[in-house]
Amino acid sequence: MTTAPAISSRLDDPESARETGRAKIDWAFEHMPILSALREEFDANQPLAGETIGMAMHVEAKTAALVETMADAGAEIAITGCNPLSTHDGVSAALDAHESITSYAERGAEGEAYYDAIDAVLAHEPTVTVDDGGDLVFRVHEDHPELIDTIIGGTEETTTGVHRLRAMDDDDALEYPVFAVNDTPMKRLFDNVHGTGESALANIAMTTNLSWAGKDVVVAGYGDCGRGVAKKAAGQNANVIVTEVEPRRALEAHMEGYDVMPMAEAAEVGDVFLTTTGNKNVITRAHFERMDDGVVLANAGHFDVEVNLDHLSELAVSEREAREGVREYELADGRRLNVLAEGRLVNLASPIGLGHPVGVMDQSFGVQAVCVREFVANREEYAAGVHNVPDELDIEIAEIKLAAEGVEYDALTDDQAEYMDSWQHGT
């Protein structure tokens, strides 16, 4: 049932694409001590021998390091993108050149082509799925249920994907075990907070060439990503305004010193708007109508549903590419609103689109790699449903990272350990 050809057959000059991709992957690997350590262990022990891994992820250099680590562990791998604009074709071509890897990812593949590539991955009959956003798991259940019996388990990288999986699980519709990689501390507290904070702001600044200092920056959603974005924007001397729907998060943002207000009010004061909610229709017609001339709108949530671009197109009298990656919508009264990266996640889909810093992704992908190893080693221990990443695996990744950074830390004495475990010690 292969329905899309691999990337190499679709490029005009696959050889030069591969070279560019190879250089990017090698650079990433050099700065990924966790995956490098795991790669050595995997190469020696072959923990994934005989397995086929199907992947739908942002196909760029750091992801490629994860893919090659798992290939060196003995697995066959088929991969495609999880967002139409985040694929780096050179990286995809370099992966496809590996004898154990087939890559179907191509920048710009959307709609039918996007799902054809997912079907092509599934034609390899994966025994493990590695997903970012849930499209692969969802497609298996909807269109290829015959694969479920031979799938040992899956892993999910992002908040939105874990939400979808938990909803499936609640409806008893999830038929194989999946690790919620997103939710584990070594992922969420670093990738979502620092990774999104740094890379979303960097990509907005580079795409627009505007400064943060003195700007009113509206951050929609004060979850892990929102916290990171707000903190880094404040660190660059912006005035941060937060919008929220969850009272404790709104209070947390208020106590952190940010202005908190409904989007209807924030729309009137913001210079830059960045959505990080994982929800739809966060910025709509009513908000566009109140915004100032020249505002910048960007999204860092997984899907391109947070800023309603249909509403904006309906309001606009003209649209043009004001600058690479910046679409300007002119309204009837002459105000111009600028949308970055088509409202897709700005840190990966903007023209530079490097995604998170390499060290942060080393942690996330280190967790991914040990989760896949765990499913293969202990497949009989996991029932269908969403599982938390076992604490010892999360700690394993932290220990490798601390050793690589040369950071030493204390250990509990036996006496302290006994004290912490007992309930008899009181006043």
Q: Residues in the site for ligand NAI, rule: CB under 6 A?
A: 158-160, 192, 196, 220-226, 243-246, 249, 276-279, 282, 300-302, 345, 347
In whole angstroms, the minimum distance from the beta carbon of 223 to ligand NAI comes to 2
Query: Which of 147/240 has CB closer to ligand NAI?
Result: 240
Q: Which residue is nearest to ligand NAI (CB)?
A: 223
DSSP secondary-structure letter at 381?
G
Nearer to ligand NAI by Cβ, of 153 and 221: the residue is 221
Instruction: Indicate the residue among 123 and 230 with the shorter CB distance to ligand NAI.
Output: 230
Residue (23 or 250) nearer to ligand NAI, CB: 250
**Backbone torsions φ then ψ of 412, nearest 5 degrees:** -65, 140
Rounded distance between C-alpha atoms, residue 171 and residue 141, angstroms? 13
Cα–Cα distances (Å) from 126 to 24, 54, 115, 165, in that order, read 27, 5, 16, 18
Toward ligand NAI, which CB reaches closer, 147 or 360? Answer: 360
Q: Quote the Cα angle for 352-355-360, to 5°.
A: 145
Rounded least distance, CB 82 to ligand NAI, Å: 11
Q: How far is the CB of 247 from ligand NAI (least distance, A)?
A: 9
> Where are any strands of DSSP class E within 332-417?
336-340, 385-387
What minimum distance in Å lies between the beta carbon of 252 and ligand NAI?
9
| Shortest Å distance, C-beta 225 to ligand NAI | 3
Cβ-based neighbours of 185, under 8 Å, separated by 6 or more? 394
Smaller CB separation from ligand NAI, 290 or 335: 290
**DSSP code per residue over 260-317:** E--HHHHHHH-SEEEE-SS-S-SB-HHHHTTPPTT-EEEE-SSSTTSB-HHHHHHHEE
Count the Cβ atoms, other than its own, within 10 Å of residue 31: 16
Minimum CB–partner distance for residue 234 and ligand NAI (Å): 17
Query: What string of DSSP letters covers 52-66?
Result: EEEEES--SHHHHHH
Q: Which is nearer to ligand NAI, 152 or 174 (CB)?
A: 174
Distance of CA 1 to the CA centre of its chain: 28
By beta-carbon proximity to ligand NAI, the closer residue of 124 and 188 is: 188
Residue 88 Cβ vs ligand NAI, minimum distance, rounded to whole Å: 15
Q: How far apart are CA 183 and CA 407, in angstroms?
A: 25
Smallest separation (angstroms) from ligand NAI to the CB of 60? 11
| Residue 396: closest CA among 374, 426, 414, 416 | 374
